[in-house]
């Protein structure tokens, strides 16, 4: 077992640890056993993750005499709706999951959100463990207790806050991700530097390319610092009454772009977050909050990582600025009909505001849609 880090999420009766390290699947039994009554867990996963890692998890649990039953769902965002959710809840009931049992969400963000929500409503709440297998899930969605599914009216509109009892982020499983999926997850990593820690952003500028190339020690450090920042914010504002919205830096733009591209392969969520962060800094510059160097530095880092950074990097046509603004208006972060934006005072200091004139957002989008020569 190589180096391991622990981030504690201090939420009183709902407090838990996030364990981060290589080889955690093999240790899953040791990590989970203290939380169990009977030595049996119920794993919700998906095809691709199951093919790559389910036997390793079974062996890790089995080493401590823990048996598992697994439900293997189809991969992809379309799983995150009522049909597969109903199937999951009914399967857990068929398995006679009891109040004191443990559900295990084993996969990326889709599985974590869906299985966590199933655990939240089953018998009015059973405990669950997150074992995130994508970078995005390790640094964002597995921590903080947001669970849910999509509605025809929008993404993540049906859900509950339900904190996991433990998160096991095995860095070695990141090695099986495609480069594109890894870099999409990195969109959320760089977001943490931008929103609250300039030293972390500088560290990423220096270490990002080596980390993406496969250095596990750097990956562990990036996941640890991201999770620590998320834990700090969630501790201050568990249910997003205020500060937690900072985690949505880049997301108002991102959600409009995801909707405009039909939530398709044209744009992955983390790619949209990265472009959205660059646009949020452009908007901050337009509003006189940051110097011109700041958005350029954000985009330069994305370019150095080989990531999408401009609207022109999204394949296919995009709608015009008015249509994108309308899509933003459907975002669930609209409060009293007003769009909320996360803007920046500098790299490493973001804030939430509803005070952004539509004309300035329009101008930033119009400029961003202009073909670059």
Residue 144: CB minimum distance to ligand GLY, A = 4
**Beta bridge mates, 20:** 5, 169
* 333 belongs to the catalytic site: no
CA distances from 349 to 47, 214, 294, 302, 346 (A): 40, 29, 12, 19, 5
Q: How many other CB atoms are there within 10 angstroms of residue 266's CB atom? A: 16
| Interface stretch with ligand GLY, choices 5-13, 36-44, 53-61, 140-148 (CB under 6 A) | 140-148
User: Using CB atoms, what's the residue nearest to ligand GLY?
Assistant: 247
- Taking CB under 6 A as the rule, which mask of x and - marks residues 247-276 in contact with ligand GLY? x-----------------------------
Between 31 and 140, CB nearer to ligand GLY = 140
DSSP string, 70-101: EEEEPPSGGGSSHHHHHHHHHHHHHTT--TT-
Residue whose C-alpha is closest to residue 157's, from 146, 145, 173: 146
Between 247 and 279, CB nearer to ligand GLY = 247
* 255 belongs to the catalytic site: yes
In angstroms, the CA 38 to CA 339 distance is 48
Residue 190: CB minimum distance to ligand GLY, A = 15
Over its C-alpha atoms, the chain yields an Rg (Å, rounded) of: 20
Q: Which helix (H) or strand (E) holds 28?
A: helix 28-32
Q: What angle do CA 141, 147, 152 make, to 5 degrees?
A: 105
Instruction: Give the dihedral of Cα atoms 47, 48, 53, 59; nearest 10 deg.
Output: 10
Residue 279: CB minimum distance to ligand GLY, A = 18
Q: By CB under 6 A, how many residues form the interface with ligand GLY?
A: 5
Q: Is 146 in the site for ligand GLY (CB under 6 A)?
A: yes
| Interface stretch with ligand GLY, choices 40-48, 116-124, 138-146, 165-173 (CB under 6 A) | 138-146
Q: Would you say 244 and 238 are in contact if contact means Cβ atoms under 8 Å apart?
A: yes
* 340 belongs to the catalytic site: no
In angstroms, the CA 199 to CA 205 distance is 10
Contacts (Cβ under 8 Å, ≥6 apart) of 191: 247, 249, 250, 273, 274, 277
Between 19 and 251, CB nearer to ligand GLY = 251
* 146 belongs to the catalytic site: yes
Q: Is 111 in the site for ligand GLY (CB under 6 A)?
A: no
Q: Is 155 in the site for ligand GLY (CB under 6 A)?
A: no
Q: Is 144 in the site for ligand GLY (CB under 6 A)?
A: yes
Q: Would you say 285 and 360 are in contact if contact means Cβ atoms under 8 Å apart?
A: no
Between 50 and 169, CB nearer to ligand GLY = 169
Residue whose C-alpha is closest to residue 161's, from 102, 216, 215, 121: 121
Options 27, 251, 309, 333, the catalytic residue = 251
Output b/e per residue, 40-63; b: 16+ Cβ within 10 A: bbbbbbbebbbeebbebbbebbee
Q: Is 140 in the site for ligand GLY (CB under 6 A)?
A: yes
Contacts (Cβ under 8 Å, ≥6 apart) of 312: 371, 372
Between 60 and 109, CB nearer to ligand GLY = 109
Options 31, 46, 84, 188, the catalytic residue = 188
Between 140 and 294, CB nearer to ligand GLY = 140
Between 132 and 144, CB nearer to ligand GLY = 144
Between 29 and 109, CB nearer to ligand GLY = 109
* 244 belongs to the catalytic site: yes
Options 124, 153, 359, 372, the catalytic residue = 124
* 308 belongs to the catalytic site: no
* 345 belongs to the catalytic site: no
Residue 356: CB minimum distance to ligand GLY, A = 20
* 240 belongs to the catalytic site: yes
Q: What angle do CA 185, 41, 54 make, to 5 degrees?
A: 50
Among 244, 255, 309, 333, binds ligand GLY (CB under 6 A): 244
Interacting residues toward ligand GLY by CB under 6 A = 140, 144, 146, 244, 247
Active-site residue set: 124, 146, 188, 230, 240, 244, 248, 251, 255, 269
């Amino acid at each position: 077992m190589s180096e391991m880090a622990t981030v504690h999420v201090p939420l009183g009766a709902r407090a838990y640890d996030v364990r981060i390290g290589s080889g955690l699947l093999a240790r899953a039994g040791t990590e989970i056993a203290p939380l169990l009554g009977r030595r049996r867990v119920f794993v919700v996963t998906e095809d691709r993750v199951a093919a790559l890692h389910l036997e390793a998890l079974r062996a890790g649990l089995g080493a401590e005499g823990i048996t598992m039953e697994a439900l293997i769902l189809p991969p992809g965002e379309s799983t995150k709706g009522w049909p597969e959710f109903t199937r999951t809840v009914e399967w857990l009931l068929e398995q006679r999951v009891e109040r004191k049992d443990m559900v295990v969400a084993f996969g990326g963000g889709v599985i974590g959100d869906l299985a966590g929500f199933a655990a939240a409503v089953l018998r009015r709440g059973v405990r669950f463990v997150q074992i995130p297998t994508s970078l995005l899930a390790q640094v964002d969605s597995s921590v903080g207790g947001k669970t849910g599914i999509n509605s025809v009216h929008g993404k993540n509109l049906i859900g509950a806050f339900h904190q996991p009892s433990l998160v096991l982020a095995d860095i070695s499983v990141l090695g099986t991700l495609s480069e594109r999926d890894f870099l999409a997850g990195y969109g959320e990593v760089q977001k943490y530097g931008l929103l609250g820690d300039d030293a972390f952003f500088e560290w990423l500028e220096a270490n990002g390319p080596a980390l993406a190339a496969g250095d596990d020690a750097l990956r562990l450090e990036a996941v640890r610092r991201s999770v620590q920042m998320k834990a700090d914010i969630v501790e201050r504002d568990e249910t997003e009454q205020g500060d937690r919205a900072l985690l949505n830096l880049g997301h108002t733009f991102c959600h409009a772009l995801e909707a405009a591209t039909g939530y398709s392969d044209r744009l992955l969520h983390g790619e949209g977050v990265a472009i959205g962060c660059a646009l949020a800094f452009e908007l901050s510059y337009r509003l006189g909050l940051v110097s011109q160097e700041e958005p350029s530095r954000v985009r330069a880092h994305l370019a150095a990582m080989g990531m999408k950074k401009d609207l022109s990097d999204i394949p296919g046509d995009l709608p015009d600025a008015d249509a994108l603004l309308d899509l933003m208006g459907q975002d669930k972060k609209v409060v009293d009909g007003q769009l909320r934006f996360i803007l920046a005072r500098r790299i490493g200091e973001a804030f939430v505001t509803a005070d952004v004139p539509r004309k300035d957002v329009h101008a930033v989008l119009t400029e961003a849609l202009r073909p670059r020569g």
